Chain A
Amino acid sequence: MGKTIAEKIFNAHHVDNPAEDIHVIRLDAVFCHEITTPMAINDLVTRNKDRVFDTNKIKAVIDHVTPAKDSKTAEQGKILRDWARRHNILDFFDIGRNGICHVLFPEKGFVRPGFTVIMGDSHTCTHGAFGAFAAGVGTTDLEVGILKGVCAFHYPSTIKVNISGQMPGGVLAKDIILSVIGRLGVNGATNKVLEFTGPIVDAMTMESRMTLCNMSVEAGATSGICLPDMTTVEYLWEFIKNEYSDKKEALDDFGRFLSDADARYDQVIEHDVSRLEPMVTFGYKPDQVKPVKEMEAIKVDQVYIGSCTNGRIEDLRVAANELAGQKISNSVRGIVSPATPKIYRQAMEEGILKIFLDAGFCVTNPTCGACLGMSNGVLAQGEVCASTTNRNFNGRMGKGGMVHLVSPATAAATAIAGYIANSRLFKG
């Protein structure tokens, strides 16, 4: 019987099998941010175990609330910063060089096909776009990861989502993943890995694949995963060129992780996108989705473009394309947060930031802040936000606020119209 990519990665990292289908695996990367790591650091200090398993495999960033907004968030940043310094963690990213973890760390080449990755952040599943097993965990799992370089999981059972058809103009990776979550439901993939395959995924950029994998957890999945191919090699090439004689050799090497043709899946879902329309959430769960045209009367107070889901350069490009020469509605507050300094710079050099500013957007520094209602765009009671983020939970972006999740194209069109609207790219 063949194996899936997730099974192959597990087998290559096996440490222990303490019970039933529980497998303890060795970790290639442990990522840390200032919200969930300080409690792990403090606990290690209290236990007199203030050590790290491997300085080079730990990467840390201050990204959730940056610059610090108050004394408490300043203290969280300080705990992470002091810890990174005393353990000589060289890949620590502080203000000026910091960006959203799930955008910054891939950009630095920290994730490779076949890797196992954990972080105290549910959207760690994003990194599966590189053919890695990447899972969000709580602070205790993170703490043990930092100390021992291991983590326990159920042996992976996989749902394959085969994405095919002709992508209609104006339909983006975000619309695809929203439609997949709508189909699976918020617990349709609980304890499973979502493996995204098919011609649409093959043709996607790494950025789009990250958007796809990023929201896997909204269907309950442990990790999203895409099979490594030449697009993966091209993205990583500047970081791996000394390890391989050419790109073909890298591709062949990554090929050992590819799912076998006779691999066994828990479920195989055929997802044809030919008739897919831009999607938007209603209600308070990310599986409550509708085509944008069915929600067009909904007025919004704020439009937010950014986050680990849609704060990448291609997201800003598609939004800027919609906004060029336009002004956003007087009744809308527009906020855009390029997800990393590199993206910020690229957007500046390409004239994208000027388009946003001319349209009436506020351009903030890279940060997670608004997405989880911590800073930089918190909603007031009764306010409505069209957002390119990943969660429309009750109170997510501020107590009593309503969040409608959309693609960056829909977000830009909505900002101009003042109510939820399809972009000009969509001709349906």
Chain B
Amino acid sequence: MKNFSGKVLFLDRNDINTDEIIPAKYLSEISKQALGPYLLEDIKLDGFMPRTDIQEKNVVITRTNFGCGSSREHAAWALEVNNINLVIAESFARIFRQNMFNCGMMAVELPAEAMDRIFRDFADKETNLETNLEKNIFIITTKNHHLEVSFSISEFDRALVMTGGWVEYADSKY
């Protein structure tokens, strides 16, 4: 199973599309590793510096409809090779969300109120997030704040995370 805990990168915008996460000009790469340096290169977000702001981060927290647009799984892979296996958002585009779980990664939705509180109290700080998959809890901490948020994922999604992804799951069942 992959790692779902670590430092948090906050992307405070709705509708971040997969062209922003990994531009199409890099789709001619045929290794996941090659995508690493280009993660979020074209994101439209004031003050965001892709190369430096991504460093050392393991979790992305963002707003609504994350991963909309192109079906490119390169978006999930570009996160994966940067050691980011968990994205938390108010909502996801269908294909991106499925791609994450298909790779044994997680795309978890939280209600708007919880997201607003997390952004208010934790964004732009040295925030750490720990995932407890047994209890379905995220533990979010900074110097001054501590928050435990429960989440839910379907049995199917959990099975994909546990087995390592859809290829392993489907190959054993169908």
* Residues of chain A whose beta carbon lies under 8 Å from any beta carbon of chain B: 15-16, 18-20, 22, 24, 35-36, 38-39, 42-43, 47, 49, 64-65, 70, 72-73, 75-76, 79, 120-122, 124, 136-141, 143-144, 147-148, 150, 152, 186-187, 190-191, 220, 222, 284-285, 372-374, 391, 393-396, 399
Given known pairs A144-B166, A393-B69, the reply for A22 and B24 (CB within 8 Å) is no
| Cβ-Cβ contact count across A and B, 8 Å cutoff | 148
**Chain A residues within 8 Å of B94, by CB:** 190-191, 220, 222
A10 shortest CB reach to chain B, Å: 15
Inter-chain contact A186/B99, CB cutoff 8 Å: no
**Chain B residues within 8 Å of A187, by CB:** 15, 64-65, 68, 91, 93
Inter-chain contact A143/B167, CB cutoff 8 Å: yes
The residue of chain A having its C-beta at the shortest distance from the C-beta of B28 within the complex is A72
B148 touches A (CB below 8 Å): no
Inter-chain contact B69/A122, CB cutoff 8 Å: yes
Task: Report B24-72 residues with CB < 8 Å from chain A CB.
Answer: 24-25, 27-30, 32, 42-44, 64-65, 68-72
Given known pairs A75-B30, A372-B24, the reply for A19 and B155 (CB within 8 Å) is yes
Can you list 14 A-B pairs with a CB-CB distance of less than 8 A?
A22-B154, A36-B72, A36-B73, A122-B69, A148-B174, A152-B156, A187-B64, A190-B92, A190-B93, A374-B28, A391-B70, A393-B17, A393-B20, A395-B20
Inter-chain contact B30/A38, CB cutoff 8 Å: yes
- Which of A18, A64, A73, A150 gathers most chain B CB within 10 Å? A18
A128 shortest CB reach to chain B, Å: 15
B128 shortest CB reach to chain A, Å: 29
**Chain A residues within 8 Å of B86, by CB:** none
Task: Report B53-112 residues with CB < 8 Å from chain A CB.
Answer: 64-65, 68-73, 76, 91-96, 98-99, 102-103
Given known pairs A18-B159, A220-B93, the reply for A373 and B24 (CB within 8 Å) is yes
**Chain B residues within 8 Å of A16, by CB:** 173-174
Closest 5 CB pairs of A and B: A19-B156, A138-B73, A138-B99, A140-B102, A395-B42
- Complex Cα distance, B165 from A121, in Å, reads 20
B42 in complex: contacting residue of A36, A136, A137, A394, CB < 8 Å: A394
Given known pairs A121-B71, A140-B167, the reply for A394 and B24 (CB within 8 Å) is no
**Chain B residues within 8 Å of A39, by CB:** 30, 32, 73
Given known pairs A187-B15, A394-B19, A395-B20, the reply for A137 and B69 (CB within 8 Å) is no
- Complex Cα distance, B24 from A372, in Å, reads 6
**Chain A residues within 8 Å of B165, by CB:** 140
The residue of chain A having its C-beta at the shortest distance from the C-beta of B42 within the complex is A395
Given known pairs A79-B30, A152-B166, A220-B93, the reply for A139 and B73 (CB within 8 Å) is yes
Inter-chain contact B167/A47, CB cutoff 8 Å: yes
A322 shortest CB reach to chain B, Å: 29
A140 in complex: contacting residue of B23, B93, B154, B166, CB < 8 Å: B166
- Complex Cα distance, B64 from A148, in Å, reads 33
Inter-chain contact A19/B71, CB cutoff 8 Å: no
- Which of B24, B43, B95, B96 gathers most chain A CB within 10 Å? B24
Inter-chain contact B70/A19, CB cutoff 8 Å: no
Inter-chain contact B156/A70, CB cutoff 8 Å: no
Inter-chain contact B156/A148, CB cutoff 8 Å: no
- Complex Cα distance, B76 from A152, in Å, reads 18
B171 touches A (CB below 8 Å): yes
B170 touches A (CB below 8 Å): yes
Inter-chain contact B24/A137, CB cutoff 8 Å: no
Inter-chain contact A138/B102, CB cutoff 8 Å: yes
**Chain A residues within 8 Å of B96, by CB:** 138
A138 in complex: contacting residue of B27, B98, B155, CB < 8 Å: B98
Inter-chain contact B19/A391, CB cutoff 8 Å: yes
- Which of B42, B65, B155, B174 gathers most chain A CB within 10 Å? B174
